[in-house]
Structure 1
Amino acid sequence: MRLLDLEGFEVPCLLVTIENQYESVKNVALTEVKKFDLTRREAEIWFLYRSNYSYKEIATKLYITINTVKKHMKNIHTKRQAKMSYD
């Protein structure tokens, strides 16, 4: 967030901020991977999940079964809960 001094402008101004949504999601996911101490595979799955992939899409993309995705997601949520209750 930035505070702008608009007193020097004689005409109305519009500030437009462009955000790369892919990079934003990636940065958030990477922070969470470190915070929750996820494995490499959990990190792959978490990134896709945070990018709004369905379990089926994740399974297809990573050549694994939906049950494997569910197991990894269960482990991820367990790690998240443990970290959140510890903080």
Structure 2
Amino acid sequence: MLMKVFNKGQVVIPAAIRKELGLNVGDMLDINLNSDRACIELKKAEKASGRLAGSLSTYARGKTFPSKKQMRNALAKGMAHEA
């Protein structure tokens, strides 16, 4: 399958390939260059949230979340401090 390179180095990924990879507008692609074979490999990138999921769990261990009242008080205090 041939693709044209446009003046800004952009290429259009054919619809059949986008469908096969499950690509949607705004998705990120992971690109690997294989210099030996003079080719590039495209794959759909993992969502950043998937890589970060649970990364702070050890930090949060033993800590409690603030109540709504505590959050409102902290916000009010912060806003009063800025004024």
TM-score range, shorter chain: under 0.3
Instruction: Name the structure with the higher strand share.
Output: 2
| Bigger relative contact order, structure 1 or 2 (CA pairs below 8 A, ≥6 apart) | 1
* Bigger-Rg structure (1/2): 2
TM-score, structure 1 as length reference: 0.27
TM-score, structure 2 as length reference: 0.28
